[in-house]
Chain A
């Protein structure tokens, strides 16, 4: 079967660091993506990992361990505008099919 698991909700304080975890079991793997989705808006691309290790992009970093089927998204120096849903997504072998996790709703409080 195919499964992508993320926590449903997280709350963090402005200026802090938060880590959103994702575990996956999918038939075939060709990269893991993180997307941000504000309420009522389209998902927007944040990061991509296909090899093990850490990818850093400004305040956002993403980590992948393929052997463990595990990824996390790290958000630093949280801002109120970071309050959104964060979707973990796995692209399957073949290139066109991307499966999304249910998303983690992050609430950033002052």
Chain B
């Protein structure tokens, strides 16, 4: 079982809907990430939060709005999405600093989003 929990597992939404994806981790990690993954493609970085502040926005359209309410939670608010936004959305977390210099990403199982 993954230590990063994402809800919902599946989401179908229309182009006019507003929905939110949720992510939670209790590993004490202070960096949290949103990745987007299309079928048979690598994960693509969308956003990074460090110490609950937005550190990286990879020029993501404003119809995706991230939020980090506290050190354990990460949300992704969705509004007016397009069918091409259909993908697997992965949340990940990592330590800011690891004594081994390692700090791998710990991924959740993702939310499979379909936009109709």
| Neighbouring B residues of A98 by C-beta, 8 Å | 45, 105
Interface residues on A, range: 20 to 34
Interface residues of B (CB under 8 A from A): 2, 4, 31, 33, 40-45, 48, 50, 55-56, 90, 96, 100-110
Q: Is the interface of B mostly helix, strand, loop or mixed?
A: loop
Closest to B105 in A: A98
B102 touches A48 (CB 8 A): yes
Q: Is the interface of A mostly helix, strand, loop or mixed?
A: loop
A44 within 8 A of B: yes
A42 touches B56 (CB 8 A): no
A102 within 8 A of B: yes
Shortest Cβ-Cβ A-B pairs, 3 listed: A100-B42, A42-B107, A45-B104
Closest to A105 in B: B40
